[in-house]
Amino acid sequence: MKKRKQYSAAFKVKVVLELLKEERTPAEIASTYEVHPSMLHAWRREFLEKASEVFEDKRKKGAEPEQEQLVANLYQQIGQLKVENDFLLRACDKLNLKPGKGR
């Protein structure tokens, strides 16, 4: 049983850039690199669809979900600490202790 050939990203970029130069036909490029022409067209389509992502500001794109998750976790911790603090204050009142002083 023959496995499908895996191509590296660098190889795909090299082939697609050559394809975009239009100095040779897709069939010639496909035979040179021993790749089926339909693969070349798929790689070119994917390359062109995702090309705009190269110039997007990744700091804003990647940071927003992480920052939102961090803020949500912090609010959860604040809520938990408030509940624990209120519980301890009520327990101190029942025992007639001053908070933070001990017995």
94 confidence band (pLDDT: 50, 70, 90): confident
pLDDT attached to residue 102: 52
pLDDT attached to residue 44: 95
44 vs 12: CA distance, rounded Å: 9
pLDDT attached to residue 63: 58
> How large is the C-alpha radius of gyration of the chain?
30
The answer on pLDDT for 21 being more than 70 is yes
pLDDT above 90 covers a percentage of the chain that reads 63
pLDDT attached to residue 11: 95
Q: Where does the chain have alpha helices with state H?
A: 9-21, 26-33, 37-50, 58-94
- pLDDT tens-digit series, residues 23-61: 999 999 999 999 999 999 999 999 999 988 888 876 666
